Amino acid sequence: SLFRLKDLEVAKLGDSDVHVKMLAAPINPADINMIQGTYAILSPLPAVGGNEGVGEVLEVGQRVTTLKPGDRVIPAGSGLGTWRTQGVFPEEMLLKVPNNIPVLCAATLSVNPCTAYRMLADFETLAPGDSVIQNAANSGVGQAVIQIAKATGIKTINVVRDRPDLPKLVERLMALGADHVITEEMLRKPEMKDIFKSIPKPRLALNCVGGKSTTEMLRHLQPKGTMVTYGGMAKQPVMVPVSAFIFRDVRLRGFWMTQWKKDHAQDQESLASMMDTLFQLIRRGQLTAPACTEVPLQDYKAALEATMKPFTSSKQILLL
């Protein structure tokens, strides 16, 4: 195994540093890809895993202005190494979150809901009544897309893989505000026409799978619509028929939250306004944490194994 649980000395607190006691940190697919070395970021080893989570400030260096003991914080970027009980981090690597946000919401906020928010906002100008289609709709991003879209009046068509407990999953996604939940097989069926009697064809498709079902999803996109790829769970390329480019002028784009944060490092305004919107949705009960399984840190091996199982509908959260 690539993992060990180790006891380390906590680093000395510098003038611009913040000493944080971690509370909870999820295990995301990208965290595992980073460890396997198949991700665009390679951490110099030995490294602490985990890119998101929430902690409580214990102590701050004398030059720190934005944070004080008792504040809750989440990572501002990637690679923080959140799977630990305590850490000392530079102030600019942390973002303050309101204390009235539930711990599991805060722990799962900096990657998936931000990704969902940006993809809904940055590629197509969507108005209430418009629709979006997405695959892996039961993923962390998928659940956030459903809820953010619902709160803004956008209809969602949600594609999931067929599975033994499909009715239960459909019910759960509908309860979050999904308008339609369909299996990958249904994308090819004539019944898809029935869906578009009541809602317009989507101008935006969100893809984190790849392979054949992504090509099928693309068929339902409006002319000049955009498909944004943000993951490749099937480990297969995105195949696009030539006719989709020529006769429907579809656009294919990519999105990576880490890159967005780098590009907007100087633009604190756009980060703050996104976070404020998300905090507001959480406080109104319109954005909840994904289905979670809470695991004590010493059981990390079981949590990693559970994350890699097919058809997982629950995010493993390490309690620190």
| Nearest one of 92, 97, 91 to 24, comparing CA atoms | 97
Where is pLDDT greater, at 235 or 207? 207
H/E stretch holding 44 reads: none
Q: Name the amino acid, one letter, at 40.
A: A
Q: How confident is the model at residue 193 (pLDDT cuts 50, 70, 90)?
A: very high
CA distances (Å), origin 103, targets 69, 109, 142, 275, 277:
17, 10, 20, 16, 18
- Walk me through the domains of the chain, giving residue ranges and CATH numbers: 17-108+289-319 (3.90.180.10), 114-257 (3.40.50.720)
Q: What pLDDT was estimated at residue 221?
A: 97
- 116-127 pLDDT, tens digit per residue, is 999 999 999 999
Dihedral, CA of residue 113, residue 100, residue 93 and residue 208, to nearest 10: -10
- 154-186 pLDDT, tens digit per residue, is 999 999 999 988 999 999 999 999 999 999 999
- 313 burial (CB, 10 Å; 0-12 / 13-18 / 19+) is middle
Could you give the CA distance from residue 292 to residue 63 in angstroms, rounded to a whole number? 37
Where is pLDDT greater, at 33 or 220? 220
Mean pLDDT of 145-149: 98
Torsions phi, psi for 130 (to 5 deg): -70, 165
Annotated active-site positions, please?
39
Q: How confident is the model at residue 313 (pLDDT cuts 50, 70, 90)?
A: confident
- 260-299 pLDDT, tens digit per residue, is 999 998 898 999 999 999 999 999 999 999 989 999 999 9
Extract the tokens encoding 102. 């539930």
Could you give the CA distance from residue 213 to residue 183 in angstroms, rounded to a whole number? 10
Could you give the CA distance from residue 141 to residue 144 in angstroms, rounded to a whole number? 5
User: How many Å from the N-terminal Cα to the C-terminal Cα in the chain?
Assistant: 21
* Averaged confidence pLDDT in the chain: 93
- 222-258 pLDDT, tens digit per residue, is 999 999 999 998 889 999 999 999 999 999 999 999 9
- 39-66 pLDDT, tens digit per residue, is 877 777 788 999 999 999 999 999 999 9
Statement: residue 1 has pLDDT above 70: no
Dihedral, CA of residue 136, residue 137, residue 139 and residue 141, to nearest 10: 110
Give the least confident one: 38-52, 70-84, 101-115, 253-267. 38-52
Q: How confident is the model at residue 36 (pLDDT cuts 50, 70, 90)?
A: confident
Mean pLDDT of 303-320: 86
Is 173 within 8 Å of 138 (Cβ atoms)? yes
Extract the tokens encoding 211. 């392979």
Could you give the CA distance from residue 35 to residue 310 in angstroms, rounded to a whole number? 19
Mean pLDDT of 7-16: 91
Could you give the CA distance from residue 282 to residue 307 in angstroms, rounded to a whole number? 25
Expressed in percent and rounded to 5, the helix, strand and coil fractions of the chain are 35, 20, 45
Alpha carbons within 13 A on the beta-carbon side of 225: 23
Could you give the CA distance from residue 99 to residue 301 in angstroms, rounded to a whole number? 30
Statement: residue 26 has pLDDT above 80: yes
Extract the tokens encoding 206. 């969100």
Give the least confident one: 133-137, 155-159, 224-228, 304-308. 304-308
Could you give the CA distance from residue 181 to residue 183 in angstroms, rounded to a whole number? 7
- What residue ranges in 98-241 does DSSP mark as E strands? 131-134, 155-160, 180-183, 204-207, 226-229
